[in-house]
């Protein structure tokens, strides 16, 4: 696979897993709204939701990991993957899926679901990169015309 194919596969895989994970975990955490999250409740929450977690997809091309993070401000899951190209170079991608908003360790609300795209294609990314390069060239030309005045007068 090319590096771009690896990146597309990684992004689509992580986003697909994050979409599924949100649908499973959000209802579990609704039961903890208006509760204080202490170290003891963290253990109880983990016990409660671990049984609902989907299995990681296993293949030669996709390797997923999930790390659960509980801070004073939020409960989230970092989902990471990598895939290797033809030169055995790993291409990593990760996102944080925010689930619960905490205020002073009190669960205040469930974050809204972001429906993440899972259908990126190599062709689409390549075309967007080409469009970006053209726009960047136009920007550079316009900025050059401003010389010696710059963008503003401060």
Higher pLDDT, 38 or 132: 132
Q: Which range, of 59-68, 82-91, 116-125, 128-137, averages the lowest pLDDT?
A: 59-68
| DSSP-assigned letter for residue 35 | -
A 10 A CB-CB count for 95 gives 18
The more confidently predicted of residues 38 and 110 is: 110
Q: Greater confidence, 139 or 85?
A: 139
- Average pLDDT score, the chain: 87
The length of the chain, given as a count of residues: 154
Predicted local distance difference test score (pLDDT) of residue 142: 94
pTM: 0.81
> 76 near 99, Cβ under 8 Å?
yes
Can you list the pairs that 121-124 forms with residues at least 24 positions away whose Cβ atoms lie under 8 Å?
Answer: 121/8, 122/2, 122/4, 122/5, 122/8
- The 3-state DSSP class for residue 115 equals coil
Residue 85: the pLDDT is 83
């Amino acid at each position: 696979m090319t590096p771009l194919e690896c990146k597309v596969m990684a992004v689509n895989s992580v986003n697909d897993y994050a979409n599924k994970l949100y649908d499973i975990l959000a209802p579990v955490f609704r039961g903890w709204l208006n509760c204080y999250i202490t170290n003891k409740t963290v253990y109880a929450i983990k016990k409660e939701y671990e049984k609902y977690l989907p299995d990681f997809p296993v293949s030669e091309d996709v390797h997923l990991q999930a790390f659960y993070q509980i801070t004073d401000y939020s409960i989230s899951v970092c989902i990471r993957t990598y895939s290797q190209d033809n030169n055995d170079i790993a291409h990593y991608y990760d996102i944080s899926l925010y689930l619960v908003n905490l205020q002073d360790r009190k669960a205040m609300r469930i974050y809204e679901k972001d429906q993440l795209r899972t259908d990126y294609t190599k062709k689409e990314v390549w075309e967007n990169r080409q469009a970006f390069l053209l726009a960047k060239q136009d920007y550079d030309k316009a900025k050059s015309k401003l010389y010696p005045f710059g963008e503003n007068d401060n």
